[in-house]
Structure 1
Amino acid sequence: MPTLEALFLQLENVKVIDDSIPNSQYTPLNLSISNPDLSKIDITDSKIFEDFIENHLQKNKAKVAFGGYNEERNLYKSSLIFNDDEKEERNIHIGMDLWIKSGTSILAALDGTVHGFDFNAGKGNYGPTIILKHSFESQIFYTLYGHLSLESIENIEIGSIFKKGQKIATLGDATVNGGYSPHLHFQIIKEIKDYLGDYPGVCSKKDLEYYLGNCPNPNLLLKIH
């Protein structure tokens, strides 16, 4: 049986945000500890960070900034969610972020059903979140959509069916999305265990090998170049 990653390579035209925006209007964004520009701003201030994203988009004549898979970041240092004194710091991002304005339509990557949803409140958290369950070529896996608007989870039910490309939500702003500049956190999950409306999107170095194996690079599916 082919791996899930190999199956993803066969798929085309997978979109998770407004499908009127072509891939040619996407630009990479480096939020890792290696980017010296981030040391010049307060990245924990959502307004300052939103201006940083907007300037990056304008500079590159793009509408969407993307990246972040397997990226070590300083972005989480101000959140207790990722910095528990009794545990190793979690600072490696294991999904893909797509930075674009709040209110943007979020689409189902593939045919699926709602596995779970929740409002994961708190600074640094996902805010409103939806997880879809998919079955493809006899393989079960999940996709997570984080940092949504509150309206996105008001009238949704577990088991609801969505088709590939169907609108499932809209993006939230900093008042509900954990205090971030608006963006979608998109993540693929093979084994979800007992999680329903939540799943770790940032891990420690100690657990990195496990999470990279369980959460393949979303760009295998999205194919953004």
Structure 2
Amino acid sequence: MKNTKLVLGLAVIAMGFASCKDEKAEQADKTVDTYVMYVDSVGNVAAEDAKGNWQGIEATYELKSGEAEAAIANMKDNAAAQERLDASRAKYEALKAKYDAEKAEQEIVAVPVNAKQQLRNALFGQGKIGDDMNFSWVNAANIHSVYQQFIHTAEDNKDSYSREDWDEIKLMYEALDSRKNTVEKEGLSSDDNRKIAALKFKFAPMLKVNRMGAKSGEMKRAKE
């Protein structure tokens, strides 16, 4: 009789342990479910709303991610749960990368282009010449058209340029001429060379006169 009671007691205890383990596994699954559902909900938020509240979203994500990781660590057979967690993590990282890229793009657009860069963009094309003064993109095939755009732009806008503008134009013109010396050794055709020489012959005196005029005008205004 005593043996029977002992066996029954052990059985009850075993059932209790099993029940406890089942509850823990079930709770762990629910924690992972919560994490997965949260990531899904982030993906359903309107892009503008998500970007505007990304700091809060990320804080909540880190909390739920940590809870899910801890829950999985306590699971005996966690392969399926780990797979779900990894899939949701990849989904979240893709969303984060998307919003980060959009934010960076907006910040670039929001930064006003300074007057010097605006002038360079007009003379050479958008973003062609930056602070590094790199003219390596100018080659034998395009240098004639580069001179054409530069000189025609300067001629068309000569009345609106300040002394600082003309100083910048002179600096860019000399840098372009320096690049031409290199390009001549890299196969510049004699025909393009003649066309460039004609453009330079017309532009050089205009540059000198307008630059001096802008400087004189500035000095006169300063005295007044």
Bin the TM-score by the shorter chain: under 0.3
Q: Which one has the bigger helix percentage? A: 2
Larger Cα Rg: Structure 1 or Structure 2?
A: 2
Higher strand share: 1
* TM-score, structure 1 normalization: 0.21
Give TM-score scaled by structure 2 length: 0.21
Higher relative contact order (CA 8 A, sep 6+): 1
